[in-house]
A and B are shown apart, each in its own frame.
Chain A
Amino acid sequence: METWWRALTFTLGYNTSLVTIGSMLLGAAGGMIGSFVLLRKRSLVSDAISHATLPGLALAFILAGLWQGDGRWLPGLLLGAALSAAVGLWAVQTISARTRLGEDAAIGAVLSSFFAFGVVLITVIQSMQVTGQAGLTGYLVGATAGMLASEAQLIALCALGLLLAIFVLRRDFLLVCFDAEFARTQGVSTGRVDLLMLLLLMAVVVIGLKVTGLILIVALAIIPPVTARFWTDRPLRMVALAALLGAAAGYLGVTLSSVQEGLPTGPLVVLASFSLFMASFLFSPWRGVLATLLAYQRFRRRVHLRQGLLALAREEPIFDNLTLKLLRRQGYIRRDGVATLPGQAAARDAEHEERLWSLYRERHPDDALQQEHSGLTPIARVLSPDAIMALEAQLPPRPEGGR
């Protein structure tokens, strides 16, 4: 607990602080670029990209190992990862554009065969006389524990660069995400912007390999944007929020993993991100599950109350328990089901409303279609007073036998 507190307050040593800052920047970059990719509905492309880094990593490891006896040379590994990820990305694009296969099949095929080739190369490495082999498994699930200061600096710097690049390009991305046709008329080359977006995504994935590992890095690009979507409908705000959420996930995950030796960073970052997601999913006041349920209940009550009042006005018997309960709670009926005075007044009002609405719908069907209502909105809020006066003048007399 105390270690965690010290990690949280950046007093656990230079390296840990550097790694924490690096993963926060990375989380922010992932959240930003992930938002655009989510809006483009291509979230799982990042899964293909991340799995496709493995053969490049392994090849770079082999080459570096043959060169200097130790394969762990971070810049070389990242370069190799980036190159093979680019090949994988190209393969996904080409397969889904040029053949009849869908993008899902393209992603799945690239992901599995590239990763499998990487696995083959790893077994080759295991039979070679190269030191530092244990370092390679860190790229599968992430390990920041034994990170060198130079590596942490590299990651932090690259993440900062990415963040800046995404920030500069955000308007173009947004334009293409929402209206590719319009973007084209504005002279923006959609193909190029799309490619740039995916290349930046790829860069985030490659830089993040060491932190979260290649299987979980997709979570950085998917979960924060999805979470942010629960809190806002405005795209740029969503991007900013996703960046914040990503940074928070990186902060929590990395600091938690420094509590105990051997706790893997990747899963912790992902789970921190997932808890933020769960909280938003359940409790967001706009699109959260709880808010939706409450809104549904409110709507249901309004409908029942209205129908109950109409039934009172038409002197029809009421059998529905919820309706009876609502009417009783409002003081509109007595316990034996007879309408009270306020109940009679409310029922008359409700019936009057209903008659006005149906007359309006009959006389002005086109206008009525424009109004979004289920007969529950007070008509005075929709129409102007004189329009209502005109309607009232046209109301047919009440049919005999009613009241």
Chain B
Amino acid sequence: MSDFMMFSLVPLTVAVIIGMTCALLGNFLVLRRQSLIGDAISHVALPGIVVSFLLTGMLSSAAMMLGAGVSALITVAMIELIRRLGRVEISAAMGVTFTSLFAVGVLLLEWHQAGGVHLDVEHALYGNLESLIWFDGTGPAALFDPVALADLPPQLARVAWVGLLVVIFVAVFRRHLVLGSFDPDFAASVRAHPVLVDLLLVTMVAVAAIAAFEAVGSIIVIAMFICPAAAARLMTDRLVAQIAWSQLFAVISAVLGYLLAGHGPGWLGFDASVSAAGTIATLAGLILLLACLWGPRRHRTGVTASP
């Protein structure tokens, strides 16, 4: 039990919160066919963090968040500029932007490898969920012990705040978000400010991606943005139900993925564990696969089953 408190409680909680947060936003991204914005933004978190590290000389989380946030805004601005001014199709504009920025990040990172910084490409991609250890979590009593609680890994609090922020955002703007997702023209006509809400949504995506980035790496972020929401879309036609399904899927993949990564190899007779973030994202993909095969609403409405 104390092992669980010390080693697993925090990573598990962080994974569940991140999964639910990303899946919540993901619903709107999938509906708007903007899933790849999440992809682009989680790629460019790397250059943002590297640049902020080079500027401030330390790995303080505030500076990293700021750097990644700025780079997300730069990305969105660049995509729009290239699309509008260059008359380039949007997916190509995205491809140009995020590969170039990611290349800058990798290059800067490799350049300063000599400094012996604990920051590398693999870390950025895979995250280090397993390293979120709560040393004072020696037993259930620690949950009520302020001294022990103060020792909780800071990532937990950060992720929780971001989760709360995203929930508040969706709650406040739910009508605008729904209108903008289904009918931007109508949304504009009733002054629902679709452009502003779009920008806010992208900002929220960036905030969630950055908070998650440090704890779990960018791959799981992309998976959690898309897979649960896409799977939920195949389960139901109603938005509220879709959000509920996506939250359920996110929780299932986070909990099951974390446990499988820690104990799965042991059951097979290996004395090791595999990447928790990777397993969680893989499970999210598997859930989507199942939904594609048997989801009750998997077909397009108005289209017969055969393509």
Instruction: List the interface of chain A (C-beta within 8 A of B).
Output: 38, 41-44, 46-47, 94-95, 97-102, 104-105, 107-120, 122-124, 127, 137, 140-141, 215-216, 218-219, 222-223, 225-226, 229-230, 262-264, 266-268, 270-271, 274, 277, 281, 287, 289, 292
User: Nearest chain-A residue to B42 (Cβ)?
Assistant: A112
Shortest C-beta distance, A191 to chain B (Å), equals 10
Known contacts A104-B34, A137-B122, A218-B99; is-contact A127 B270 (Cβ 8 Å): yes
Q: Chain A residues near B222: list those with CB within 8 A.
A: 108, 111-112
Docked complex Cα distance between A114 and B285 (Å): 8
4 cross-chain pairs, A with B, having the tightest CB-CB distances, nearest first: A113-B285, A116-B281, A119-B278, A112-B223
Q: Quick one: which of A112, A119, A277 has the most chain B CB within 10 A?
A: A112
Q: Is the CB of A115 within 8 A of B219?
A: yes
Q: Chain B residues near A141: list those with CB within 8 A.
A: 106, 110, 121
Known contacts A99-B292, A116-B281; is-contact A108 B38 (Cβ 8 Å): yes
Shortest C-beta distance, B43 to chain A (Å), equals 8
Q: Is the CB of B230 within 8 A of A123?
A: no
Q: Is the CB of A274 within 8 A of B230?
A: no
- Interface residues in B120-135 by Cβ distance below 8 A to A read 121-122, 125-126
Q: Is the CB of B281 within 8 A of A113?
A: yes
Q: Is the CB of A287 within 8 A of B121?
A: no
Given contacts A100-B300, A267-B104, 13 further A-B contacts (CB under 8 A): A44-B94, A44-B95, A99-B234, A108-B226, A112-B227, A113-B281, A116-B280, A119-B126, A120-B279, A123-B272, A123-B273, A226-B86, A274-B100
Q: Is the CB of A266 within 8 A of B103?
A: yes
Q: Is the CB of A219 within 8 A of B275?
A: no
Residue from A101, A123, A268 within 8 A of B275 (CB atoms): A123
Q: Quick one: which of A46, A102, A127, A229 has the most chain B CB within 10 A?
A: A102
Known contacts A100-B297, A123-B275, A222-B99; is-contact A292 B92 (Cβ 8 Å): no
Q: Is the CB of A122 within 8 A of B275?
A: yes
Q: Is the CB of B39 within 8 A of A140?
A: no
Q: Chain B residues near A97: list those with CB within 8 A.
A: 307
B261 close to chain A: CB less than 8 A: yes
Q: Chain A residues near B219: list those with CB within 8 A.
A: 112, 115-116, 119
Instruction: List the interface of chain B (C-beta within 8 A of A).
Output: 30, 33-36, 38-39, 43, 82, 85-89, 91-96, 99-100, 102-104, 106-107, 110-111, 113, 121-122, 125-126, 219-220, 222-223, 225-227, 230, 233-234, 261, 265, 270, 272-275, 277-282, 284-286, 288, 292, 295, 297-301, 307
Docked complex Cα distance between A97 and B304 (Å): 12
Residue from A105, A113, A120, A264 within 8 A of B106 (CB atoms): A264
Q: Quick one: which of A116, A123, A140, A223 has the most chain B CB within 10 A?
A: A116
Docked complex Cα distance between A211 and B110 (Å): 16
Q: Is the CB of B125 within 8 A of A119?
A: yes
User: Nearest chain-B residue to A43 (Cβ)?
Assistant: B92
Docked complex Cα distance between A266 and B106 (Å): 9
Known contacts A116-B278, A122-B275, A123-B274; is-contact A105 B33 (Cβ 8 Å): yes
Shortest C-beta distance, A24 to chain B (Å), equals 18
Known contacts A105-B30, A112-B281, A116-B219; is-contact A216 B274 (Cβ 8 Å): no
User: Nearest chain-B residue to A293 (Cβ)?
Assistant: B85
Q: Chain B residues near A105: list those with CB within 8 A.
A: 30, 33, 35, 226, 230, 233
Q: Quick one: which of B103, B107, B222 has the most chain A CB within 10 A?
A: B103
Shortest C-beta distance, A59 to chain B (Å), equals 14
Shortest C-beta distance, A394 to chain B (Å), equals 42
Q: Is the CB of A270 within 8 A of B99?
A: yes
Q: Is the CB of B89 within 8 A of A41?
A: yes
A–B complex contacts, Cβ < 8 Å, 17 sampled: A41-B89, A47-B95, A99-B234, A99-B298, A99-B299, A112-B281, A113-B282, A113-B285, A117-B282, A118-B278, A123-B278, A140-B121, A216-B99, A219-B96, A223-B96, A281-B85, A289-B86
Known contacts A100-B300, A105-B33, A219-B95; is-contact A120 B121 (Cβ 8 Å): no
Docked complex Cα distance between A98 and B289 (Å): 12
Q: Chain A residues near B82: list those with CB within 8 A.
A: 281
Q: Chain A residues near B300: list those with CB within 8 A.
A: 99-100
Q: Is the CB of B102 within 8 A of A216?
A: yes
Known contacts A99-B234, A105-B230; is-contact A111 B39 (Cβ 8 Å): yes
Shortest C-beta distance, B61 to chain A (Å), equals 23
Q: Chain A residues near B272: list those with CB within 8 A.
A: 123-124, 127
Q: Chain A residues near B107: list those with CB within 8 A.
A: 263-264, 267-268, 271
Q: Chain A residues near B35: list those with CB within 8 A.
A: 102, 104-105, 107-109
Q: Is the CB of A120 within 8 A of B274?
A: yes
Docked complex Cα distance between A292 and B103 (Å): 29
Q: Is the CB of B122 within 8 A of A222?
A: no
Q: Is the CB of B100 within 8 A of A271?
A: yes
Q: Is the CB of B95 within 8 A of A289?
A: no
Q: Is the CB of A38 within 8 A of B100?
A: no
Q: Is the CB of B110 within 8 A of A95?
A: no
User: Nearest chain-A residue to B82 (Cβ)?
Assistant: A281
Shortest C-beta distance, A200 to chain B (Å), equals 18
Q: Is the CB of B92 within 8 A of A226?
A: yes
Q: Is the CB of A119 within 8 A of B226?
A: no
Shortest C-beta distance, A359 to chain B (Å), equals 37
Docked complex Cα distance between A218 and B39 (Å): 13
Q: Is the CB of A38 within 8 A of B86?
A: no
Known contacts A113-B223, A122-B275, A226-B96; is-contact A108 B39 (Cβ 8 Å): yes
Q: Chain A residues near B273: list those with CB within 8 A.
A: 123
Docked complex Cα distance between A44 and B301 (Å): 26
Shortest C-beta distance, B280 to chain A (Å), equals 8
Q: Is the CB of B225 within 8 A of A140?
A: no
Docked complex Cα distance between A266 and B219 (Å): 20
Q: Is the CB of B275 within 8 A of A120?
A: yes
Shortest C-beta distance, B117 to chain A (Å), equals 15
Q: Is the CB of B275 within 8 A of A140?
A: no
